C-alpha cells in the first residue's frame, strides 16, 4: 500500500508492461513527460529551458523528432534530431565496435629439447601462422628423464625460436622453468583486428591473381582456336600418303 503523500512513477524507458523486460530506448516526442526541458537544437546549439510543448513544436516545424538524451538531469535534456537516422548510426557503430573487438586466444605448441630440424621447422611454421592471425602462443618445452638436468637446452631452443619469429611476434613472457616443463609466451606484433584486415587483403590479392591467370588461359585458348580456324581443316591422310615417293608404281 502506497504511503500518502508519496508518488510512484514507472518510467517508460525502464519497463515494458507487456514483456516486463528492461528497455534502453530513450523517450521521444509525446512520450516525454517532463513539463520543462533543456532543449538542444538540431545543430547542437543550446536553446535553453523551454516548455515541452514549445520543444515539440520546434521539432515538428523542422520535421524532426524530440529525443530525451539525459532523462536524469533536472530539467531533462532533449535534442531535436532524426531519431531513425540516429538509431541506425548507433547500430552501425556498435556493429563496427564488435567487429574490431580483440578476442585474445592463446594457442599452445609443445616441443622437445632435442627436436629434429624438420619437426622444428614444421612447428615454427604453425607458430608463425598463429602469430600472423593475431593470437598469442604458449610454447612449452617438455623435459624427460636426464633432460631435466640440462635446462640450457630449453633456454637455447626458445631463444632460437624467438629470433626466428621476431618479424611476427615478441616475447611477452620470458622462458621460465615450471616443473618438468619450460614455458615461454609469444605475443603477435599486430592486433587481431589488423591481422584480420591483412588476411582479408591477402585473400583478395590471391583471388585477383587467380582471376588474372584464368583470364590469361582463356585468352590463350581463344587465340589457339582463332589460329586453327584461320588455317582451315587439316587434309586427311590416305593410304598413298604413307607410301615412299621414290617407288615407281
Complete domains list, the chain, with CATH? 29-84 (3.10.20.80), 106-192 (3.30.110.10)
Is 244 a residue whose pLDDT tops 80? Answer: no
d(CA 106, CA 227): 59
Higher pLDDT, 122 or 241: 122
- Over the stretch 109-157, which tens digit does the pLDDT of each residue have? 999 999 999 999 999 999 999 998 888 999 999 999 888 889 999 999 9
What pLDDT does residue 121 have?
Answer: 95
What pLDDT does residue 64 have?
Answer: 92
Is 194 a residue whose pLDDT tops 70? Answer: no
Contact call for residues 47 and 26 (beta carbons, < 8 A): no
- Over the stretch 51-105, which tens digit does the pLDDT of each residue have? 999 999 999 999 999 999 888 888 999 999 998 898 888 888 888 777 766 566 7
Band the pLDDT of 248: cuts 50, 70, 90: low
126: which DSSP letter? H
What pLDDT does residue 12 have?
Answer: 38
DSSP symbols for 6-33: ------TTT--TTT-----PPPBGGG--
Please tell me the pTM assigned to this model: 0.42
CA angle 41, 42, 45 (to 5 degrees): 40
d(CA 83, CA 67): 7
What pLDDT does residue 107 have?
Answer: 93
Neighbours of 1 (CB within 10 A): 3
Is the sign of the CA dihedral 114, 116, 121, 126 positive or negative? Answer: negative
What pLDDT does residue 245 have?
Answer: 57
Q: Which three cell numbers stand for residue 35?
A: 513539463
- Over the stretch 196-225, which tens digit does the pLDDT of each residue have? 666 666 777 778 888 888 888 888 888 888
Contact call for residues 184 and 175 (beta carbons, < 8 A): yes
Amino acid at each position: 500500500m502506497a504511503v500518502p503523500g508519496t508518488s510512484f512513477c514507472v518510467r517508460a524507458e525502464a519497463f515494458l508492461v507487456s514483456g516486463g523486460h528492461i528497455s534502453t530506448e530513450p523517450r521521444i516526442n509525446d512520450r516525454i513527460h517532463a513539463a520543462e526541458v533543456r532543449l538542444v537544437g538540431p545543430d547542437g546549439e543550446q536553446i535553453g529551458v523551454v516548455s515541452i510543448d514549445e520543444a515539440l513544436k520546434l521539432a515538428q516545424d523542422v520535421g524532426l523528432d524530440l529525443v530525451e538524451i539525459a532523462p536524469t538531469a533536472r530539467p531533462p535534456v532533449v535534442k531535436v534530431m532524426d531519431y531513425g537516422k540516429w538509431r541506425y548510426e548507433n547500430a552501425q557503430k556498435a556493429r563496427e565496435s564488435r567487429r574490431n573487438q580483440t578476442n585474445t586466444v592463446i594457442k599452445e605448441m609443445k616441443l622437445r629439447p632435442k627436436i629434429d630440424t624438420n619437426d622444428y621447422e614444421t612447428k615454427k611454421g604453425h607458430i608463425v601462422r598463429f602469430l600472423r592471425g593475431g593470437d598469442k602462443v604458449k610454447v612449452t618445452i617438455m623435459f624427460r628423464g636426464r633432460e631435466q638436468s640440462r635446462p640450457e637446452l630449453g633456454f637455447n631452443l626458445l631463444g632460437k625460436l624467438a629470433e626466428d619469429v621476431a618479424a611476427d611476434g615478441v616475447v611477452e613472457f620470458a622462458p621460465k622453468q615450471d616443473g618438468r616443463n619450460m614455458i615461454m609466451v609469444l605475443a603477435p606484433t599486430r592486433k587481431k583486428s589488423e591481422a584480420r584486415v591483412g588476411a582479408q587483403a591477402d585473400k583478395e590479392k590471391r583471388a585477383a591473381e587467380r582471376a588474372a591467370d584464368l583470364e590469361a588461359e582463356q585468352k590463350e585458348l581463344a587465340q589457339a582456336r582463332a589460329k586453327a580456324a584461320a588455317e582451315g581443316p587439316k587434309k586427311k591422310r590416305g593410304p598413298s600418303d604413307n607410301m615412299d615417293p621414290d617407288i615407281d608404281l
